[in-house]
């Protein structure tokens, strides 16, 4: 099943063309990894999917991004509603300087979601495999958690608004190997319910966790295919060079 369909997407920062003519399809309940050298536009592309680029001055989008067949850049799109459906986890763990409970409850509160807040918090923390570690200290400051726990807290905070897609921009780059593995396992369980798009610089991670892989090079999507094929028989020479460490 197709979740996102991106058609001829161009993105400009002022005069600078950051993404050119990207067309891909992102599947529901699958993990799609985006790889490529620094500055090639991975984060820019990711932010196009929930319109987090909107506030950047001078930024301009061309082409179409369809979420369940609806163009999210069409006039009259409710951006708040879009971001509820397409959540985001950032590179650096960034809990609010508040209690664990309030962090998770933030989204449901601002969106005015129905339902028992305590139950939502518990479900979200369980979903992020953090519940057992924090269930006795929900009232404590989230900044007291380890970095790995903080990142899982951020994932829990994202799933608390019950999104359909989760975008992750290098979610493990600030974490140690064990915390990284925990997040990777978590992603495997999350993909039962969500469509996940992850940007990573870690080739092993991309090949371990993802079902599809897209390779960005200088603002273009050079290769997009089933992960196994990208890593074993890439169609482009440049992809092979990058994956094996000869380019980038």
Partner 1 sequence: MDRYVKQRMGFAFLTACAIAVVAPILVVIGLIFIEGAKAVSLEFISAVPYGGMKEGGIFPAIVGTLILTVGTALASIPVGVAGTIYLAEYARDTWMTRAIRLAIVNLAGIPSIVYGLFGLGMFVLFLHMGTSILAGVLTLAIMTLPVIISTSEEALRAVPMEFRTVSASLGGTRWQGIRYIVLPQAMPGIITGIILGLLRAAGETAPILFTVAAFYLPQLPRSPFDQVMALPYHLYVISTQVPGMPMSVQYGTALVLLILVLSMNLIATVIRSYFRRRRQW
Ligand X SMILES: Nc1ncnc2c1ncn2[C@@H]1O[C@H](COP(=O)(O)OP(=O)(O)OP(=O)(O)O)[C@@H](O)[C@H]1O
Backbone angles phi, psi at 134, to 5 degrees: -120, 0
- In this structure, are residues 34 and 214 in contact, taking their beta carbons and an 8 Å threshold? yes
Of 97-105, 115-123, 177-185, 225-233: span binding partner 1 (CB under 8 A): 97-105
Bridge partner residues of 220 (DSSP): 217
How far apart CA 21 and CA 10 sit, in angstroms, is 5
- Residue 88 binds: one of partner 1, ligand X, Mg ion, none (C-beta under 5 to 8 A by kind): partner 1
Q: Is 119 in the site for ligand X (CB under 6 A)?
A: no
The correct pick among 32, 43, 44, 50 for binding partner 1 (CB under 8 A) is: 50
- In this structure, are residues 167 and 46 in contact, taking their beta carbons and an 8 Å threshold? yes
3-state secondary structure of 146: coil
Interacting residues toward Mg ion by CB under 5 A: 43
Q: Is 143 in the site for ligand X (CB under 6 A)?
A: no
Site map 1..40 versus ligand X, x via CB under 6 A: ------------x--x-x-----------------x-xxx
Q: Is 88 in the site for partner 1 (CB under 8 A)?
A: yes
Nearest to residue 124, comparing CAs of 179, 182, 193?
Answer: 193
Nearer to ligand X, 42 or 157 (CB): 42
Q: Is 48 in the site for partner 1 (CB under 8 A)?
A: no
Residue 35 Cα to chain centre, angstroms:
13
How far apart CA 100 and CA 80 sit, in angstroms, is 23
Q: Is 56 in the site for ligand X (CB under 6 A)?
A: yes
Nearest to residue 159, comparing CAs of 87, 232, 55, 81?
Answer: 87
Nearer to ligand X, 56 or 147 (CB): 56
Say which residues have a Cβ less than 8 Å from residue 83's Cβ, sequence separation at least 6.
50, 51, 52
Site for partner 1 in 101-160 (CB under 8 A): 102, 106-107, 109-111, 141, 157-158
Q: How far is the CB of 150 from partner 1 (least distance, A)?
A: 12
The correct pick among 41, 63, 87, 148 for binding partner 1 (CB under 8 A) is: 87
Q: What is the largest CA-CA distance in the chain?
A: 53
Binding interface with partner 1 (CB under 8 A): 50, 52, 55, 80-81, 83-84, 87-88, 90, 92, 94, 96-99, 102, 106-107, 109-111, 141, 157-158, 161
């Amino acid at each position: 099943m197709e979740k996102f369909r991106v058609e001829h997407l161009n993105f400009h920062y002022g005069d600078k063309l950051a993404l050119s003519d990207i067309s891909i399809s992102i599947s529901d309940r699958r993990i799609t990894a985006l790889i490529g050298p620094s500055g090639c536009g991975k984060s820019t592309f990711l932010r196009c999917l929930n319109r987090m680029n909107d506030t950047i001055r001078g930024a301009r989008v061309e082409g179409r991004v369809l979420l369940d067949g609806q163009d999210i850049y069409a006039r009259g799109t409710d951006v708040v509603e879009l971001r509820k459906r397409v959540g985001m986890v950032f590179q650096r763990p960034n809990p609010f300087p508040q209690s664990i409970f309030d962090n998770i409850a933030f989204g449901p509160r601002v969106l005015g979601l129905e339902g028992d807040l305590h139950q939502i918090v518990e479900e979200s923390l369980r979903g992020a495999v953090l519940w057992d570690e924090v269930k006795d200290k929900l009232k404590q400051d989230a900044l007291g958690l380890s970095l790995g726990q903080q990142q899982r807290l951020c994932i829990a905070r994202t799933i608390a608004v019950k999104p359909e897609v989760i975008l992750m921009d290098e979610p493990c780059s600030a974490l140690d190997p064990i915390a990284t593995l925990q997040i990777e396992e978590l992603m495997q369980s999350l993909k039962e319910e969500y469509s996940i798009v992850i940007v990573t610089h870690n080739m092993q991670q991309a090949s371990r966790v993802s079902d599809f892989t897209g390779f960005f090079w200088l603002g273009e999507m050079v290769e997009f295919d089933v992960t196994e094929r990208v890593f074993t028989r890439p169609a482009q020479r440049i992809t092979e060079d990058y994956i094996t460490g000869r380019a980038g």
